[in-house]
Structure 1
Amino acid sequence: MPATFSIDPASGVCREAQWCPSPHCNARPAADDISLLVIHNISLPPRQFATGCVQQFFAGKLEAERHPYFAEIAALRVSAHFFIERNGQLTQFVSCNERAWHAGQSCFAGREACNDYSIGIELEGCDDVPYAPAQYAALVALTAAIQQAYPAISNARITGHEHIAPGRKTDPGAAFDWQGYRSALSQGEAP
C-alpha cells in the first residue's frame, strides 16, 4: 500500500486504487457540492473477510446462490466510492465526482440526502471487531487525499453511517477508533 494516495479532482479517481466500476451510481445534483465523508463497514458473507464478495456486490455481480445471505441482498443496488480491505488494499467503485449509493435515507447537520454531497468509504469489517492497523493507515492517507481534492470536507465533516442514519444503521460501530483516527488526521499519521 502506498504511503500516500492522490485523487485527480477532474476525474474523481484515486490513482493508486484498484478500479472496479459499479453501475450503481449517477450524477450528483450539484457537481461542485462535495462536502461530507461517510465511513461505513461491510463484510460478505457477514463477519467473513477477504472473500472478494464485497467487490462483486458493489459491481452488481454477486452470485445469489453462493451463500444464503446473498439471496437476500443480491438484487440490491448499492455502492460506495471506496473499499479498504483488512490488509489496507484500496478499491474504488465510483468516481468521487459522481453520486454513489451508500448512505440511503440520511441527514447530516440538518441536511438530508447525504449521497448527494458525500463520499462513502467502506471498511472491511463489522461493528464489534477491531479494524486492522493497515486499514487505519490507508483510511488516514485516503482521507488526506480526499480533503486535498475536495477542501469542503473538513475534519468536522467526517462522520459515520450510524450518525447520519441513527436507528437504521450501526456502522462503523463501537470497534471503530474515532479518537485515534481523528488524532491521526490532525497529525498526518496513522493511529
Structure 2
Amino acid sequence: MVLLRLGWWILGWKDEFPYSPNDIVRNPSSLQWRGNQIHEARKLTSKSAVIWFPPANHVIKWNVDASVQPIHSRSAIGGVLRDHNGKFICLFSSPIPFMEINSAEIIAIHRAIKISLTRDMCKGAKIILESDSANAVRWSNGEEGGPCNLNFQLNFIRNAKRNGLDISIVHMGRSANFVADSLAKQGIHRQSDFIAWL
C-alpha cells in the first residue's frame, strides 16, 4: 500500500518517471531510477519479464490473480485453467470484499482449488497453480502463517493438498499471468461471480 501511494505521488512530479504505480509495487528497485536512465529502466523491466509456458503432458495449470482498487474500495479475483496445449479448460472472474492484495491472492488460490474439487477430471490430475504473490504462495504452502482473518481459506488450501488433490502452488511473475490478471480486472466491474467450463 505504501509503494502504491508513493507511485501515485510520483505521478504528480514534473520530472519524467518511466514507471507506473503498479510497476513500483511489482519491482520496488525501480525507485532507484535517477533521471534520464531510459536504458537502465528498460533493463529493469525486461529482467522481470516472464512468459507463460504450458505444463508437461497430463498436467493442468491454474493461473490466478487478484486486482485491488483502493480509490474505489474494490477487489476482485480471476483465474484460468489450461492444459498442456494451452487450451482453456475453465475461467473464473469474481468481485470479492475489499481487502489488501496478498489477502485477495489467497482468496484467488482458494477459489481455484474449490473449483478443482468439483470436477473429477481435476481430482485425478496433477495440477500446478501459479500466483504472482510470493506471500500468498508461502502462506498456502506453509503449515502456519498468513492473515488470521483468512484462516478458514488457508486451512482449506492446506487440507485440500493433504487430502489427495495433487497440486503444487508456485510463485510466478505477473507477466506470465496476463489472462488471469485480465479476468481479475474484469471482476472489479462484475456484480456476481462468473465461471465457465470450456
Q: TM-score, length-normalised on structure 1? A: 0.30
More helix by share: 2
Larger Rg: 2
